[in-house]
Structure 1
Amino acid sequence: MPPPPQSTHNYNPYLPTSSSSSSAKSASFKGCCCCLFLLFSFLALLALAIVLVVILAVKPKKPQFDLQQVGVQYMGITPTTASSLDPTTTTSNTISSTQSASISLTIHMLFTAVNPNKVGIKYGESRFTVMYRGIPLGKASVPGFYQESHSSRNVEATIAVDRANLMQADAASLIKDASLNDRIELRVLGDVGAKIRVLNFDSPGVQVSVDCAIAISPRKQSLTSKQCGFDGLSV
């Protein structure tokens, strides 16, 4: 019998297949990604450690953010009483029968920001609210800014209140304060976001809270007293 025909294709078990080659490339790519991730993580931690060391070295102090001046540009009070059509109504009766009142107010505030630190401070947008007996009347905002080290800067804000309505007891108190005492006590609250900047890196944001009690004379359209306090920055 003639021998069986031999195949022209010889199989070599030592030659790699295409699947094993792609698996090796995938493993190599994953290894490179892990190395790069570890490298960037190490560099980020190193930069953070340097910033923290510098912050501890300069010993940052809390900035001073204080209300220096308050200008009353306009103040008007409009009462609504149940006996407003009675010409014989006295002032005391008007106060007792007050159902509501609206207040319009425009005040200009000048703050002074002082940075006593060796590094700069980056302030975010600041918001201020004027209140009467715990009732918000109006708000104002100040754009963020950067303050150099060992510097002082003026910050201005204007709060405009357009016919804010007060009801019953609050309205009666407002009319009494204005007509009998010529003194309306308001409260100005504000939150100022601040960050310490070192080597172009910003520290985590913290809040500087401003709390000012002011008294305004409706007849003179002027400020009669102010007292401010603030919760300073701590890092």
Structure 2
Amino acid sequence: MAAAPASKLLPNICLTLFLSLILLLLFSLILAFTVFKPKQPIIVVDSVSLLDLNVSITDGVHLSLSLNVDLTVQNPNKVGFEYSESTAVVIYRGEKVGEAPIPGGRLPGKGTEKMNLTLTIMGDRMLGKSEVFSDVVSGQLPISTFARLPGKVKVMNVLKIHVVASTSCDLIIDVKNESFGDQLCQYRTTL
């Protein structure tokens, strides 16, 4: 039996390689969008506590305030989550009155990281608001905290999907008892 000429085998080999490559790409895409489908990282506020609260209303209002915020960042993905440097802020009546840096980092797949932030409030920024005197006299100081972590999830080291995880808490500080009243925290994530 005579062997087939090389000119007839070459198209068959090329077609086989081409079809194998297409199947490999299709298989990779199916894995990328099923098994390795990116999920949104989550920031959870574990606790918020007062470190320092000094209020005086003699000769006007004098105020200094520091908060300790414990956060947990959870990565539900099977691949790592890389997040950029960011900032957690304290807001009083729509104005930023304090902040703390959040360093960038990387969480491995299914990883969790605890963070402890100290937010010092700049009293002079609060005193610029006309409502601060009435809030202090009433004994209830409303503030909000907000933390945001922008980052990316790499699927199979090919696809980079940008995600943002954020959390915010609305808090009422009981000035007389130096404690927290109502607390409402919300967690948001976006792909």
Bin of the TM-score, shorter chain as denominator length: 0.7 to 0.9
Distance 1:132 1:54, change over 3 A: same
Count of aligned positions: 166
Which structure dedicates a bigger proportion of its chain to strand?
A: 2
Task: State the 1:217 CA deviation.
Answer: 1.6
**Residues 179/167 of structure 1: CA separation in 2 closer, same or farther (3 Å cut):** closer
The percentage of counterpart residues that share the same residue type is 23
2:33 corresponds to 1:56: yes
1:147-226 matches, within 5 Å, as: 147-166=107-126, 170-171=129-130, 173-180=131-138, 182-200=139-157, 203-226=160-183
The 3-state SS of whatever aligns with 1:232 is strand
- 8 Å contact kept, 2:97–2:126: no
Report the CA distance between 1:143 and its aligned residue: 0.5
> Does the CA-based 8 Å contact 2:51-2:67 persist in structure 1?
yes
Contact 1:142 1:156 in 2 (8 A): no
Q: Distance in 2 between matches of 1:108 and 1:51?
A: 45
SS state at 2:190 partner: coil
- 5 Å-filtered alignment, 1:64-143, equals 64-79=42-57, 84=59, 101-143=61-103
Tell me the TM-score normalised to structure 1 length: 0.61
Tell me the secondary structure at the aligned position of residue 175 of structure 1. Answer: helix
1:86-134 per-residue CA deviation (whole Å, 9 max, x = no partner) reads: xxxxxxxxxxxx6xx4532110101111122211211211211101111
Larger radius of gyration: 1
1:148-180 Cα shifts (integer Å, max 9, x gaps): 222322112111124324457x33x32322232
Calculate the aligned-residue CA RMSD, in Å. 2.8
Shift in Å, 1:144: 1.2
Q: Which has the higher helix share?
A: 1
Question: Measured at CA, do residues 185 and 124 of structure 1 come closer, stay the same or move farther in structure 2, by a change above 3 Å?
Answer: same
Distance 1:142 1:164 in 2: 23
1:35-89 deviation per Cα after TM superposition (whole angstroms, max 9, x unaligned): xxxxxxxxxxxxxx99866542312221221211001011223447xxx4xxxxx
Structure-2 change in CA distance of 1:64 and 1:209 (3 Å): closer
Question: What amino acid sits opposite 1:196 in the alignment?
Answer: V
Q: Distance in 2 between matches of 1:157 and 1:122?
A: 19
TM-score if structure 2 supplies the norm length?
0.73
